[in-house]
Amino acid sequence: MIRIMVVDDERDVESLFRQKFRKEMRDGLIDFHFKFSGEDALEYLDTANAADLVLILSDINMPGITGIELLRILKEKYAHLKVFMITAYDDKEKYEKAIQYGAEEYFIKPIDFEMLKKEIFSIIN
């Protein structure tokens, strides 16, 4: 079971992921936990429930703590976590920041879910 936290201020993302990963969730391969701000994500990471998370998928453009700030904090405080960044805009500067701060992957919306699944399963192999 791969435990993943998705952080995105757009709440529709939860139903989209539940639909796209229905089979993987039903088969017990992947478990998603959803947070809708960087602040809530960081709060959750300080709880015991977060101990077995392996991957964070984070939106970049969010009010409050942005995805790039969240990434920087994650790589400082939770260096064992893999982080994939997701953005609605093809923005070279943000891409370079994400790579500089250590993001493992970078996806542009609309997400290619087949590619995302491949990358998710490749981190545990």
Give the residues lining the site for Mg ion (CB under 5 A).
9, 59, 61-62
Q: Residue 98 Cβ, how far from Mg ion at the closest point, in Å?
A: 14
Q: Residue 55 Cβ, how far from Mg ion at the closest point, in Å?
A: 19
3-state secondary structure 6-64: EECCCCHHHHHHHHHCHHHHHCCCEEEEEECCHHHHHHHHCCHHHHHEEEEEEECCCCC
Q: Quick one: 32 or 37, whose CB is closer to Mg ion?
A: 37
Q: Quick one: 2 or 111, whose CB is closer to Mg ion?
A: 111
Of all helices (H) and strands (E), which one includes residue 67? Answer: helix 67-77
Q: Residue 97 Cβ, how far from Mg ion at the closest point, in Å?
A: 16
Q: Which residues contact 69 (CB under 8 A, 6 or more apart)?
A: 38
Q: Residue 87 Cβ, how far from Mg ion at the closest point, in Å?
A: 8
d(CA 64, CA 69): 10
Q: Quick one: 29 or 37, whose CB is closer to Mg ion?
A: 37
Q: Quick one: 28 or 63, whose CB is closer to Mg ion?
A: 63
